[in-house]
Structure 1
Amino acid sequence: MQALFAQLLIGLINGSFYALLSLGLAVIFGMLNIINFAHGALYMMGAFCAYFLLNALGLGYWWALILTPLAVGLFGMLLELTVLRRIKTLDHIYGLLLTFGIALVIQGVFLNYFGSSGLPYAVPKLLAGGVHLGFMYLPIYRGWVVVFSLLMCILTWYLIERTTLGSYLRAATENPALVRAFGINVPRMITLTYGFGVGLAGLAGVLSAPINQVRPLMGADLIVVVFAVVVIGGMGSILGSIITGFALGILEGLTKYFYPEASNSVIFVFMVLVLLVKPTGMTGRAI
Protein backbone atom coordinates (compact mmCIF):
# COMPACT_ATOMS: atom_id res chain seq x y z
CA MET A 1 0.00 0.00 0.00
CA GLN A 2 2.89 2.39 0.67
CA ALA A 3 4.03 1.91 -2.94
CA LEU A 4 0.51 2.64 -4.17
CA PHE A 5 0.23 5.85 -2.14
CA ALA A 6 3.70 6.89 -3.27
CA GLN A 7 2.66 6.53 -6.91
CA LEU A 8 -0.54 8.46 -6.20
CA LEU A 9 1.56 11.27 -4.72
CA ILE A 10 3.80 11.29 -7.81
CA GLY A 11 0.67 11.38 -9.94
CA LEU A 12 -0.70 14.34 -7.98
CA ILE A 13 2.61 16.21 -8.37
CA ASN A 14 2.69 15.54 -12.12
CA GLY A 15 -0.98 16.50 -12.26
CA SER A 16 -0.13 19.81 -10.59
CA PHE A 17 2.30 20.66 -13.38
CA TYR A 18 -0.11 19.39 -16.03
CA ALA A 19 -2.90 21.56 -14.58
CA LEU A 20 -0.82 24.75 -14.30
CA LEU A 21 0.66 24.42 -17.76
CA SER A 22 -2.56 23.39 -19.46
CA LEU A 23 -4.34 26.22 -17.63
CA GLY A 24 -1.92 28.72 -19.16
CA LEU A 25 -2.47 27.18 -22.59
CA ALA A 26 -6.24 27.27 -22.12
CA VAL A 27 -6.15 30.95 -21.09
CA ILE A 28 -4.06 31.86 -24.15
CA PHE A 29 -6.20 29.86 -26.57
CA GLY A 30 -9.51 30.82 -25.01
CA MET A 31 -8.72 34.53 -24.96
CA LEU A 32 -6.37 34.90 -27.96
CA ASN A 33 -7.05 31.84 -30.17
CA ILE A 34 -3.31 31.06 -30.26
CA ILE A 35 -2.08 27.48 -29.95
CA ASN A 36 1.08 28.30 -27.99
CA PHE A 37 3.65 25.57 -28.65
CA ALA A 38 6.35 27.71 -26.98
CA HIS A 39 4.73 27.03 -23.59
CA GLY A 40 7.16 24.24 -22.71
CA ALA A 41 10.18 26.43 -23.48
CA LEU A 42 8.75 29.23 -21.31
CA TYR A 43 8.23 26.71 -18.50
CA MET A 44 11.91 25.82 -18.84
CA MET A 45 12.81 29.52 -18.80
CA GLY A 46 10.95 29.84 -15.50
CA ALA A 47 13.13 27.15 -13.93
CA PHE A 48 16.32 28.78 -15.28
CA CYS A 49 15.17 32.20 -14.08
CA ALA A 50 14.82 30.81 -10.55
CA TYR A 51 18.30 29.26 -10.89
CA PHE A 52 19.83 32.58 -12.03
CA LEU A 53 18.10 34.54 -9.26
CA LEU A 54 19.60 32.19 -6.69
CA ASN A 55 23.13 31.88 -8.06
CA ALA A 56 23.65 35.34 -9.58
CA LEU A 57 21.65 37.59 -7.26
CA GLY A 58 21.35 35.48 -4.13
CA LEU A 59 17.54 35.61 -4.24
CA GLY A 60 16.04 32.36 -3.01
CA TYR A 61 12.95 30.33 -3.77
CA TRP A 62 10.34 32.70 -2.29
CA TRP A 63 11.61 35.66 -4.31
CA ALA A 64 11.66 33.43 -7.39
CA LEU A 65 7.97 32.60 -6.92
CA ILE A 66 7.21 36.32 -7.25
CA LEU A 67 9.80 37.56 -9.74
CA THR A 68 9.96 34.65 -12.18
CA PRO A 69 6.32 34.75 -13.37
CA LEU A 70 6.73 38.51 -13.86
CA ALA A 71 9.95 38.09 -15.87
CA VAL A 72 8.58 35.27 -18.04
CA GLY A 73 5.31 37.15 -18.45
CA LEU A 74 7.16 40.26 -19.66
CA PHE A 75 9.11 38.14 -22.14
CA GLY A 76 5.84 36.64 -23.36
CA MET A 77 4.30 40.09 -23.75
CA LEU A 78 7.30 41.11 -25.86
CA LEU A 79 6.76 38.04 -28.05
CA GLU A 80 3.10 38.90 -28.48
CA LEU A 81 3.82 42.53 -29.37
CA THR A 82 6.62 41.85 -31.85
CA VAL A 83 5.76 38.49 -33.43
CA LEU A 84 2.41 36.91 -32.58
CA ARG A 85 0.32 40.01 -33.20
CA ARG A 86 1.29 39.86 -36.89
CA ILE A 87 -0.45 36.51 -37.40
CA LYS A 88 -3.54 36.92 -35.21
CA THR A 89 -5.88 37.08 -38.23
CA LEU A 90 -4.41 33.95 -39.88
CA ASP A 91 -5.33 30.30 -39.41
CA HIS A 92 -4.43 28.54 -36.14
CA ILE A 93 -1.76 26.45 -37.85
CA TYR A 94 0.40 29.54 -38.42
CA GLY A 95 0.42 30.35 -34.71
CA LEU A 96 1.28 26.74 -33.87
CA LEU A 97 4.17 26.63 -36.36
CA LEU A 98 5.49 30.02 -35.31
CA THR A 99 5.44 29.23 -31.58
CA PHE A 100 6.99 25.81 -32.32
CA GLY A 101 9.85 27.60 -34.05
CA ILE A 102 10.22 30.02 -31.13
CA ALA A 103 10.39 27.04 -28.76
CA LEU A 104 13.17 25.44 -30.81
CA VAL A 105 15.16 28.69 -30.83
CA ILE A 106 14.85 29.16 -27.04
CA GLN A 107 15.78 25.54 -26.34
CA GLY A 108 18.70 25.72 -28.74
CA VAL A 109 20.11 28.80 -27.01
CA PHE A 110 19.93 27.20 -23.56
CA LEU A 111 21.32 23.89 -24.84
CA ASN A 112 24.26 25.71 -26.40
CA TYR A 113 25.20 27.42 -23.13
CA PHE A 114 24.24 24.80 -20.51
CA GLY A 115 24.23 21.43 -22.27
CA SER A 116 21.62 18.76 -21.62
CA SER A 117 22.55 17.83 -18.06
CA GLY A 118 20.49 19.04 -15.13
CA LEU A 119 21.46 21.80 -12.72
CA PRO A 120 20.56 21.32 -9.04
CA TYR A 121 18.15 23.64 -7.24
CA ALA A 122 17.79 23.04 -3.52
CA VAL A 123 14.46 22.68 -1.75
CA PRO A 124 13.85 25.79 0.43
CA LYS A 125 14.70 25.16 4.09
CA LEU A 126 11.19 26.00 5.25
CA LEU A 127 9.80 23.17 3.12
CA ALA A 128 12.57 20.61 3.66
CA GLY A 129 12.00 17.26 5.30
CA GLY A 130 8.78 15.32 5.46
CA VAL A 131 5.93 14.02 7.59
CA HIS A 132 5.07 10.40 8.27
CA LEU A 133 1.32 9.99 7.87
CA GLY A 134 1.20 6.38 9.05
CA PHE A 135 0.40 4.94 5.64
CA MET A 136 3.15 6.84 3.76
CA TYR A 137 5.97 9.35 4.07
CA LEU A 138 5.00 12.76 2.65
CA PRO A 139 7.82 15.13 1.62
CA ILE A 140 6.70 18.59 2.69
CA TYR A 141 7.82 20.29 -0.52
CA ARG A 142 5.83 17.92 -2.72
CA GLY A 143 2.74 18.48 -0.62
CA TRP A 144 3.31 22.23 -0.97
CA VAL A 145 3.51 21.93 -4.77
CA VAL A 146 0.13 20.17 -4.94
CA VAL A 147 -1.63 22.61 -2.60
CA PHE A 148 -0.11 25.76 -4.12
CA SER A 149 -0.81 24.64 -7.68
CA LEU A 150 -4.43 23.86 -6.84
CA LEU A 151 -4.81 27.26 -5.17
CA MET A 152 -3.37 29.09 -8.22
CA CYS A 153 -5.66 27.13 -10.54
CA ILE A 154 -8.74 28.04 -8.50
CA LEU A 155 -7.74 31.72 -8.33
CA THR A 156 -7.18 31.82 -12.10
CA TRP A 157 -10.55 30.17 -12.76
CA TYR A 158 -12.24 32.67 -10.46
CA LEU A 159 -10.49 35.60 -12.16
CA ILE A 160 -11.54 34.51 -15.65
CA GLU A 161 -15.04 33.23 -14.92
CA ARG A 162 -16.33 35.25 -11.97
CA THR A 163 -14.91 38.79 -12.16
CA THR A 164 -15.64 41.86 -14.24
CA LEU A 165 -12.13 41.75 -15.72
CA GLY A 166 -12.72 38.16 -16.81
CA SER A 167 -16.00 39.12 -18.47
CA TYR A 168 -14.17 41.88 -20.38
CA LEU A 169 -11.57 39.35 -21.53
CA ARG A 170 -14.19 36.90 -22.75
CA ALA A 171 -16.15 39.65 -24.45
CA ALA A 172 -13.00 40.92 -26.21
CA THR A 173 -12.55 37.53 -27.88
CA GLU A 174 -16.15 37.37 -29.08
CA ASN A 175 -16.75 40.99 -30.13
CA PRO A 176 -13.66 43.22 -29.87
CA ALA A 177 -15.33 46.14 -31.68
CA LEU A 178 -18.08 46.29 -29.05
CA VAL A 179 -15.55 46.17 -26.21
CA ARG A 180 -13.58 49.02 -27.80
CA ALA A 181 -16.79 51.05 -27.85
CA PHE A 182 -16.74 50.94 -24.04
CA GLY A 183 -13.31 52.58 -24.04
CA ILE A 184 -11.29 49.42 -23.35
CA ASN A 185 -7.91 49.01 -25.05
CA VAL A 186 -8.36 45.52 -26.53
CA PRO A 187 -4.80 45.07 -27.93
CA ARG A 188 -3.33 45.92 -24.52
CA MET A 189 -5.73 43.47 -22.87
CA ILE A 190 -4.65 40.74 -25.29
CA THR A 191 -0.97 41.42 -24.56
CA LEU A 192 -1.54 41.28 -20.80
CA THR A 193 -3.54 38.06 -21.17
CA TYR A 194 -0.72 36.38 -23.09
CA GLY A 195 1.75 37.56 -20.46
CA PHE A 196 -0.46 36.12 -17.72
CA GLY A 197 -0.75 32.77 -19.50
CA VAL A 198 2.99 32.34 -19.98
CA GLY A 199 3.58 33.68 -16.46
CA LEU A 200 1.73 30.58 -15.22
CA ALA A 201 4.23 28.48 -17.18
CA GLY A 202 7.10 30.36 -15.50
CA LEU A 203 5.53 29.74 -12.10
CA ALA A 204 5.29 26.01 -12.87
CA GLY A 205 8.99 26.08 -13.78
CA VAL A 206 9.91 27.48 -10.35
CA LEU A 207 7.82 24.83 -8.60
CA SER A 208 9.44 22.12 -10.71
CA ALA A 209 13.07 23.18 -10.26
CA PRO A 210 13.71 21.51 -6.85
CA ILE A 211 11.99 18.29 -8.00
CA ASN A 212 13.11 17.77 -11.60
CA GLN A 213 16.31 19.86 -11.67
CA VAL A 214 16.86 22.65 -14.20
CA ARG A 215 17.37 21.33 -17.75
CA PRO A 216 17.05 22.94 -21.20
CA LEU A 217 14.83 20.10 -22.43
CA MET A 218 12.56 19.85 -19.39
CA GLY A 219 9.79 21.66 -21.28
CA ALA A 220 10.15 19.55 -24.40
CA ASP A 221 9.68 16.40 -22.30
CA LEU A 222 6.39 17.72 -20.93
CA ILE A 223 4.68 19.84 -23.58
CA VAL A 224 3.23 16.96 -25.64
CA VAL A 225 1.55 15.51 -22.55
CA VAL A 226 0.25 18.95 -21.59
CA PHE A 227 -1.26 19.43 -25.03
CA ALA A 228 -2.98 16.06 -24.65
CA VAL A 229 -4.41 17.29 -21.34
CA VAL A 230 -5.70 20.47 -23.00
CA VAL A 231 -7.30 18.52 -25.84
CA ILE A 232 -9.00 16.11 -23.44
CA GLY A 233 -10.29 18.90 -21.22
CA GLY A 234 -11.37 20.97 -24.23
CA MET A 235 -9.46 23.68 -26.06
CA GLY A 236 -10.01 26.98 -24.26
CA SER A 237 -11.79 25.44 -21.27
CA ILE A 238 -10.35 26.77 -18.00
CA LEU A 239 -12.18 24.38 -15.67
CA GLY A 240 -11.65 21.46 -18.05
CA SER A 241 -7.88 21.98 -18.03
CA ILE A 242 -7.71 22.09 -14.23
CA ILE A 243 -9.82 18.98 -13.63
CA THR A 244 -8.23 17.01 -16.47
CA GLY A 245 -4.68 17.92 -15.42
CA PHE A 246 -5.05 16.59 -11.89
CA ALA A 247 -7.19 13.61 -12.94
CA LEU A 248 -4.76 12.44 -15.62
CA GLY A 249 -1.83 12.86 -13.24
CA ILE A 250 -3.58 10.48 -10.83
CA LEU A 251 -4.45 8.09 -13.68
CA GLU A 252 -0.80 8.06 -14.74
CA GLY A 253 0.29 7.34 -11.15
CA LEU A 254 -2.17 4.45 -10.81
CA THR A 255 -1.01 3.02 -14.13
CA LYS A 256 2.62 3.11 -12.97
CA TYR A 257 1.59 0.97 -9.99
CA PHE A 258 -0.72 -1.55 -11.67
CA TYR A 259 0.77 -1.71 -15.18
CA PRO A 260 4.03 0.27 -15.49
CA GLU A 261 4.55 -0.61 -19.15
CA ALA A 262 1.52 1.50 -20.14
CA SER A 263 2.28 4.55 -17.96
CA ASN A 264 3.89 6.54 -20.80
CA SER A 265 0.97 6.03 -23.18
CA VAL A 266 -2.14 5.87 -20.98
CA ILE A 267 -2.87 9.62 -21.34
CA PHE A 268 -2.72 9.42 -25.14
CA VAL A 269 -4.91 6.31 -25.21
CA PHE A 270 -7.43 8.16 -23.04
CA MET A 271 -7.20 11.18 -25.39
CA VAL A 272 -8.05 9.01 -28.39
CA LEU A 273 -11.05 7.51 -26.59
CA VAL A 274 -12.35 10.94 -25.56
CA LEU A 275 -11.95 12.40 -29.05
CA LEU A 276 -13.79 9.45 -30.59
CA VAL A 277 -16.77 10.21 -28.37
CA LYS A 278 -16.54 14.03 -28.20
CA PRO A 279 -14.11 15.63 -30.69
CA THR A 280 -14.13 19.01 -28.89
CA GLY A 281 -12.97 17.48 -25.59
CA MET A 282 -14.97 16.94 -22.43
CA THR A 283 -15.87 20.61 -21.82
CA GLY A 284 -14.48 22.39 -24.87
CA ARG A 285 -15.82 24.14 -27.92
CA ALA A 286 -15.04 23.68 -31.59
CA ILE A 287 -11.85 25.36 -32.84
Structure 2
Amino acid sequence: MMMILGKPAPLLFGQLLLGIINGSFYAMLSLGLAIIFGLLNVINFAHGALFMVGAFVTWGLLHYLGIGFWPALVVAPVMVGAFGLLIERTLIRFTYKLDILYGLLLTFGLALVLEGIFTNAFGSSGVSYDGPNILSGTLNLGFMYLPVYRAFVVFAAIVICFGVWFTIEKTPLGALLRAATENPALVQSFGVNVPRLISLTFAGGVALAGLAGVLAAPLYSVNPGMGTSLINTVFAVVVIGGMGSIGGAILTGFGLGIIQGFTEVFYPAASSVVVFAVMAVVLLARPAGLFGRVA
Protein backbone atom coordinates (compact mmCIF):
# COMPACT_ATOMS: atom_id res chain seq x y z
CA MET A 1 0.00 0.00 0.00
CA MET A 2 1.30 3.43 -0.96
CA MET A 3 2.23 5.59 2.02
CA ILE A 4 2.32 9.39 2.13
CA LEU A 5 3.90 11.11 5.14
CA GLY A 6 3.67 7.82 6.99
CA LYS A 7 -0.07 7.45 6.38
CA PRO A 8 -1.88 5.12 3.96
CA ALA A 9 -2.73 7.00 0.77
CA PRO A 10 -6.43 5.95 0.76
CA LEU A 11 -6.82 7.28 4.31
CA LEU A 12 -5.10 10.56 3.46
CA PHE A 13 -7.06 11.15 0.27
CA GLY A 14 -10.30 10.04 1.90
CA GLN A 15 -9.92 12.61 4.66
CA LEU A 16 -8.88 15.21 2.10
CA LEU A 17 -12.13 14.53 0.22
CA LEU A 18 -14.12 14.75 3.44
CA GLY A 19 -12.40 18.03 4.23
CA ILE A 20 -13.24 19.44 0.81
CA ILE A 21 -16.88 18.38 1.21
CA ASN A 22 -17.10 19.99 4.64
CA GLY A 23 -15.34 23.01 3.20
CA SER A 24 -17.98 23.20 0.47
CA PHE A 25 -20.71 23.61 3.07
CA TYR A 26 -18.58 25.98 5.15
CA ALA A 27 -18.06 28.11 2.03
CA MET A 28 -21.73 28.17 1.00
CA LEU A 29 -23.01 28.92 4.49
CA SER A 30 -20.35 31.50 5.30
CA LEU A 31 -21.02 33.11 1.91
CA GLY A 32 -24.63 33.75 2.89
CA LEU A 33 -23.54 35.07 6.28
CA ALA A 34 -20.94 37.33 4.69
CA ILE A 35 -23.51 38.76 2.28
CA ILE A 36 -25.98 39.51 5.06
CA PHE A 37 -23.36 41.01 7.35
CA GLY A 38 -21.31 42.76 4.69
CA LEU A 39 -24.27 44.40 2.98
CA LEU A 40 -26.79 44.71 5.83
CA ASN A 41 -24.57 44.70 8.94
CA VAL A 42 -26.69 41.96 10.52
CA ILE A 43 -25.18 38.93 12.27
CA ASN A 44 -27.68 36.23 11.33
CA PHE A 45 -27.35 33.56 14.00
CA ALA A 46 -30.39 31.80 12.53
CA HIS A 47 -28.41 30.89 9.41
CA GLY A 48 -27.73 27.35 10.61
CA ALA A 49 -31.40 26.84 11.44
CA LEU A 50 -32.38 28.05 7.96
CA PHE A 51 -29.89 25.58 6.50
CA MET A 52 -31.77 22.91 8.45
CA VAL A 53 -35.10 24.25 7.17
CA GLY A 54 -33.80 23.91 3.60
CA ALA A 55 -32.99 20.25 4.20
CA PHE A 56 -36.41 19.58 5.74
CA VAL A 57 -38.18 21.40 2.90
CA THR A 58 -36.30 19.15 0.47
CA TRP A 59 -37.48 16.08 2.38
CA GLY A 60 -41.03 17.43 2.62
CA LEU A 61 -41.24 18.16 -1.10
CA LEU A 62 -40.46 14.52 -1.84
CA HIS A 63 -42.41 12.97 1.02
CA TYR A 64 -45.62 14.98 0.65
CA LEU A 65 -45.63 16.25 -2.94
CA GLY A 66 -43.46 13.75 -4.80
CA ILE A 67 -41.07 16.50 -5.94
CA GLY A 68 -37.61 15.01 -6.35
CA PHE A 69 -34.10 16.30 -5.83
CA TRP A 70 -33.58 18.22 -9.08
CA PRO A 71 -36.68 20.43 -8.84
CA ALA A 72 -35.96 20.83 -5.12
CA LEU A 73 -32.65 22.49 -5.99
CA VAL A 74 -34.75 25.42 -7.20
CA VAL A 75 -37.98 25.13 -5.22
CA ALA A 76 -36.49 24.69 -1.73
CA PRO A 77 -34.13 27.72 -1.85
CA VAL A 78 -36.98 29.86 -3.19
CA MET A 79 -39.23 28.73 -0.33
CA VAL A 80 -36.54 29.31 2.29
CA GLY A 81 -35.70 32.66 0.70
CA ALA A 82 -39.38 33.65 0.85
CA PHE A 83 -39.40 32.70 4.52
CA GLY A 84 -36.29 34.83 4.98
CA LEU A 85 -38.06 37.72 3.26
CA LEU A 86 -40.92 37.37 5.73
CA ILE A 87 -38.45 37.36 8.64
CA GLU A 88 -36.73 40.47 7.34
CA ARG A 89 -39.97 42.35 6.77
CA THR A 90 -41.49 41.49 10.15
CA LEU A 91 -38.47 41.27 12.47
CA ILE A 92 -34.99 42.03 11.18
CA ARG A 93 -35.66 45.44 9.66
CA PHE A 94 -36.46 46.89 13.08
CA THR A 95 -32.90 46.20 14.23
CA TYR A 96 -31.07 48.06 11.44
CA LYS A 97 -30.75 51.29 13.39
CA LEU A 98 -29.99 49.57 16.69
CA ASP A 99 -26.76 48.16 18.05
CA ILE A 100 -25.64 45.08 16.11
CA LEU A 101 -26.09 42.98 19.26
CA TYR A 102 -29.88 43.29 19.00
CA GLY A 103 -29.92 41.60 15.61
CA LEU A 104 -27.66 38.84 16.88
CA LEU A 105 -29.90 38.17 19.89
CA LEU A 106 -33.04 38.27 17.76
CA THR A 107 -31.71 35.76 15.24
CA PHE A 108 -30.31 33.57 18.02
CA GLY A 109 -33.79 33.40 19.54
CA LEU A 110 -35.28 32.68 16.13
CA ALA A 111 -32.83 29.80 15.66
CA LEU A 112 -33.92 28.28 18.97
CA VAL A 113 -37.59 28.63 18.01
CA LEU A 114 -37.09 26.97 14.62
CA GLU A 115 -35.06 24.13 16.08
CA GLY A 116 -37.68 23.59 18.76
CA ILE A 117 -40.53 23.51 16.23
CA PHE A 118 -38.80 20.93 14.04
CA THR A 119 -37.71 18.85 17.03
CA ASN A 120 -41.30 18.73 18.23
CA ALA A 121 -42.53 17.76 14.76
CA PHE A 122 -39.86 15.25 13.70
CA GLY A 123 -37.94 14.31 16.84
CA SER A 124 -34.26 14.86 17.46
CA SER A 125 -33.15 11.95 15.26
CA GLY A 126 -34.77 13.45 12.17
CA VAL A 127 -35.45 11.73 8.84
CA SER A 128 -33.45 10.28 5.96
CA TYR A 129 -33.38 11.46 2.36
CA ASP A 130 -32.07 9.50 -0.61
CA GLY A 131 -30.20 11.34 -3.33
CA PRO A 132 -30.92 11.00 -7.06
CA ASN A 133 -30.13 7.63 -8.61
CA ILE A 134 -28.08 9.21 -11.38
CA LEU A 135 -25.57 10.43 -8.78
CA SER A 136 -25.29 7.14 -6.92
CA GLY A 137 -22.26 4.90 -7.09
CA THR A 138 -18.55 5.64 -6.99
CA LEU A 139 -15.70 6.49 -9.33
CA ASN A 140 -12.49 4.46 -9.15
CA LEU A 141 -9.64 6.97 -9.22
CA GLY A 142 -7.00 4.30 -8.73
CA PHE A 143 -5.84 5.55 -5.34
CA MET A 144 -9.36 5.87 -3.87
CA TYR A 145 -13.06 5.51 -4.62
CA LEU A 146 -14.88 8.81 -5.06
CA PRO A 147 -18.65 8.83 -4.39
CA VAL A 148 -20.33 10.49 -7.35
CA TYR A 149 -22.73 12.53 -5.24
CA ARG A 150 -19.93 13.97 -3.13
CA ALA A 151 -18.08 15.01 -6.26
CA PHE A 152 -21.28 16.68 -7.44
CA VAL A 153 -21.59 18.58 -4.15
CA VAL A 154 -18.06 19.95 -4.45
CA PHE A 155 -18.60 20.94 -8.08
CA ALA A 156 -21.95 22.57 -7.28
CA ALA A 157 -20.47 24.48 -4.34
CA ILE A 158 -17.64 25.86 -6.48
CA VAL A 159 -20.06 26.96 -9.21
CA ILE A 160 -22.48 28.54 -6.72
CA CYS A 161 -19.77 30.36 -4.79
CA PHE A 162 -18.10 31.69 -7.92
CA GLY A 163 -21.44 32.77 -9.38
CA VAL A 164 -22.43 34.69 -6.25
CA TRP A 165 -18.98 36.27 -5.89
CA PHE A 166 -18.97 37.36 -9.53
CA THR A 167 -22.49 38.80 -9.25
CA ILE A 168 -21.70 40.88 -6.18
CA GLU A 169 -18.18 41.98 -7.07
CA LYS A 170 -18.21 42.29 -10.86
CA THR A 171 -21.71 43.22 -12.04
CA PRO A 172 -23.84 46.41 -11.98
CA LEU A 173 -26.30 44.64 -9.67
CA GLY A 174 -23.55 44.01 -7.14
CA ALA A 175 -22.39 47.61 -7.39
CA LEU A 176 -25.97 48.75 -6.78
CA LEU A 177 -26.25 46.51 -3.72
CA ARG A 178 -23.04 47.88 -2.25
CA ALA A 179 -24.04 51.45 -2.99
CA ALA A 180 -27.47 50.95 -1.43
CA THR A 181 -25.92 49.83 1.85
CA GLU A 182 -23.19 52.48 1.92
CA ASN A 183 -25.30 55.48 0.86
CA PRO A 184 -28.99 54.53 0.75
CA ALA A 185 -30.22 58.12 0.47
CA LEU A 186 -28.21 58.73 -2.69
CA VAL A 187 -29.35 55.49 -4.30
CA GLN A 188 -32.95 56.23 -3.30
CA SER A 189 -32.70 59.58 -5.08
CA PHE A 190 -32.14 57.70 -8.35
CA GLY A 191 -35.51 56.00 -7.97
CA VAL A 192 -34.27 52.72 -6.52
CA ASN A 193 -36.48 51.13 -3.87
CA VAL A 194 -33.73 50.63 -1.29
CA PRO A 195 -35.85 48.90 1.41
CA ARG A 196 -37.01 46.35 -1.16
CA LEU A 197 -33.43 45.85 -2.35
CA ILE A 198 -32.27 45.26 1.22
CA SER A 199 -35.10 42.79 1.83
CA LEU A 200 -34.22 40.85 -1.32
CA THR A 201 -30.55 40.83 -0.32
CA PHE A 202 -31.42 39.25 3.02
CA ALA A 203 -33.70 36.76 1.27
CA GLY A 204 -30.90 35.89 -1.15
CA GLY A 205 -28.45 35.22 1.66
CA VAL A 206 -31.01 33.01 3.38
CA ALA A 207 -31.76 31.21 0.11
CA LEU A 208 -28.08 30.23 -0.08
CA ALA A 209 -28.47 28.53 3.30
CA GLY A 210 -31.54 26.74 1.95
CA LEU A 211 -29.62 25.63 -1.15
CA ALA A 212 -26.84 24.26 1.04
CA GLY A 213 -29.53 22.38 2.97
CA VAL A 214 -30.78 20.77 -0.25
CA LEU A 215 -27.28 19.56 -1.09
CA ALA A 216 -26.74 18.32 2.47
CA ALA A 217 -29.98 16.32 2.70
CA PRO A 218 -28.69 13.19 0.90
CA LEU A 219 -25.35 13.31 2.74
CA TYR A 220 -26.37 13.80 6.34
CA SER A 221 -29.29 12.84 8.52
CA VAL A 222 -31.92 15.55 8.11
CA ASN A 223 -32.42 16.51 11.74
CA PRO A 224 -33.22 19.67 13.72
CA GLY A 225 -29.68 19.97 15.08
CA MET A 226 -27.83 19.72 11.77
CA GLY A 227 -27.45 23.49 11.50
CA THR A 228 -26.40 23.95 15.10
CA SER A 229 -23.48 21.58 14.63
CA LEU A 230 -22.16 23.73 11.77
CA ILE A 231 -22.96 27.30 12.68
CA ASN A 232 -20.13 27.87 15.19
CA THR A 233 -17.56 26.69 12.66
CA VAL A 234 -19.17 28.77 9.92
CA PHE A 235 -19.00 31.90 12.07
CA ALA A 236 -15.32 31.16 12.67
CA VAL A 237 -14.85 30.91 8.91
CA VAL A 238 -16.45 34.32 8.41
CA VAL A 239 -14.29 35.88 11.13
CA ILE A 240 -11.09 34.36 9.74
CA GLY A 241 -11.92 35.39 6.19
CA GLY A 242 -12.88 38.90 7.27
CA MET A 243 -16.36 39.98 8.34
CA GLY A 244 -18.30 40.86 5.22
CA SER A 245 -15.64 39.66 2.77
CA ILE A 246 -17.38 37.57 0.11
CA GLY A 247 -14.21 36.15 -1.44
CA GLY A 248 -12.66 35.67 1.98
CA ALA A 249 -15.61 33.58 3.15
CA ILE A 250 -15.35 31.29 0.13
CA LEU A 251 -11.59 30.76 0.20
CA THR A 252 -11.47 30.37 3.97
CA GLY A 253 -14.37 27.91 3.95
CA PHE A 254 -12.66 25.55 1.54
CA GLY A 255 -9.25 26.07 3.12
CA LEU A 256 -10.38 25.33 6.66
CA GLY A 257 -12.28 22.27 5.50
CA ILE A 258 -9.05 20.89 4.03
CA ILE A 259 -7.07 21.78 7.16
CA GLN A 260 -9.69 20.05 9.28
CA GLY A 261 -9.49 16.95 7.08
CA PHE A 262 -5.71 16.70 7.35
CA THR A 263 -5.88 17.29 11.10
CA GLU A 264 -8.24 14.31 11.35
CA VAL A 265 -5.47 12.16 9.84
CA PHE A 266 -2.45 13.38 11.78
CA TYR A 267 -3.97 14.50 15.09
CA PRO A 268 -7.64 13.45 15.33
CA ALA A 269 -8.10 14.83 18.85
CA ALA A 270 -7.58 18.37 17.54
CA SER A 271 -9.87 18.14 14.49
CA SER A 272 -12.84 19.66 16.28
CA VAL A 273 -10.90 22.67 17.58
CA VAL A 274 -8.36 23.35 14.84
CA VAL A 275 -10.67 25.89 13.16
CA PHE A 276 -10.91 27.90 16.36
CA ALA A 277 -7.16 27.65 16.93
CA VAL A 278 -6.62 29.08 13.46
CA MET A 279 -9.14 31.82 14.24
CA ALA A 280 -7.25 32.78 17.40
CA VAL A 281 -3.93 32.98 15.55
CA VAL A 282 -5.41 35.00 12.69
CA LEU A 283 -7.13 37.47 15.01
CA LEU A 284 -3.91 38.01 16.95
CA ALA A 285 -1.98 38.69 13.75
CA ARG A 286 -4.70 40.44 11.76
CA PRO A 287 -7.83 41.44 13.73
CA ALA A 288 -9.76 42.33 10.57
CA GLY A 289 -9.35 38.79 9.22
CA LEU A 290 -7.31 37.52 6.30
CA PHE A 291 -9.30 39.38 3.65
CA GLY A 292 -11.08 41.99 5.77
CA ARG A 293 -10.62 45.70 5.40
CA VAL A 294 -8.32 47.23 7.98
CA ALA A 295 -9.94 50.33 9.47
- TM bucket, shorter chain: over 0.9
Aligned partner of 1:215 in structure 2 is 223
Shift of 1:61: 0.4
Are residues 1:17 and 2:25 paired? Answer: yes
CA 1:169–1:36: 2 relative to 1, 3 Å: same
> CA offset at residue 87 of structure 1?
1.1
Q: Aligned partner of 1:266: which letter? A: V
Paired residue secondary structure (1:212): coil
Aligned counterparts of 1:284 and 1:173: Cα–Cα separation in 2:
17
In the TM superposition, residue 284 of structure 1 has moved relative to its aligned partner by 1.3
With normalisation by structure 1, the TM-score equals 0.99
Residue in structure 2 matched with residue 29 of structure 1 by the alignment: 37
Q: Does 1:189 align with 2:212?
A: no
1:51 matched residue in structure 2: 59
Please tell me whether residue 242 in structure 1 is matched to residue 242 in structure 2: no
**Percent same amino acid among aligned pairs?**
60
Which residue of 169, 175, 190 corresponds with 1:167? 175
Residue pair 1:236, 1:285 contacting (<8 A) in 2 also: no
CA distance in 2, matches of 1:21, 1:111: 22
Query: How many pairs align?
Result: 287
CA contact (8 A) 1:228 1:267 kept: yes
Matches of 2:294 and 2:58 in 1, distance apart? 37
Q: What amino acid does structure 2 have at the position aligned with 1:16?
A: S
Aligned mates of 1:154, 1:120 — CA distance in 2: 30
3-state DSSP class of the match of 1:210?
A: coil
Q: In 2, Cα distance between the equivalents of 1:6 and 1:113?
A: 36
Contact 1:235 1:281 in 2 (8 A): yes
Corresponding residue number in structure 2 for 1:133: 141
Runs of 4+ in 1 over 4 A off after TM superposition: none
2:14 is matched by which residue type in structure 1? A
Measure how far apart 1:285 and its partner are: 3.1
TM-score, with structure 2 as normaliser: 0.96
Match of residue 124 from structure 1: 132
On the 8 A contact 1:43/1:219 being kept in 2, the answer is: yes
Q: Which amino acid letter does the alignment assign opposite residue 150 of structure 2?
A: R
Q: What residue number does 1:227 align with?
A: 235
Partner of 1:271: 279
Q: Is 2:15 the counterpart of 1:7?
A: yes
Structure 1 residue 118: deviation in Å? 3.0
Match of 2:72 in 1: 64
Deviation at 1:123, TM superposition (A): 1.7
Q: Which amino acid aligns with 2:248?
A: G
Return the alpha-carbon distance in structure 1 between the equivalents of residues 90 and 112 of structure 2. Answer: 18
Paired letter, 1:157: W
Amino acid at match of 2:88: E
Q: Secondary structure at the match of 1:213?
A: coil
3-state DSSP class of the match of 2:240? Answer: helix
Distance 1:182 1:167 in 2: 14
CA distance in 2, matches of 1:129, 1:181: 56
Q: Which residue of 1 aligns with 2:119?
A: 111
Using the alignment, how far apart are the partners of 2:219 and 2:165 within structure 1?
Answer: 26
Cα deviation 1:108-166 (Å, max 9, x = unaligned): 00011111103110021010001100011000000000000010000000000001010
1:179 and 1:277 map into 2 onto residues whose CA distance is 37
RMSD between superposed Cα atoms in Å = 0.8
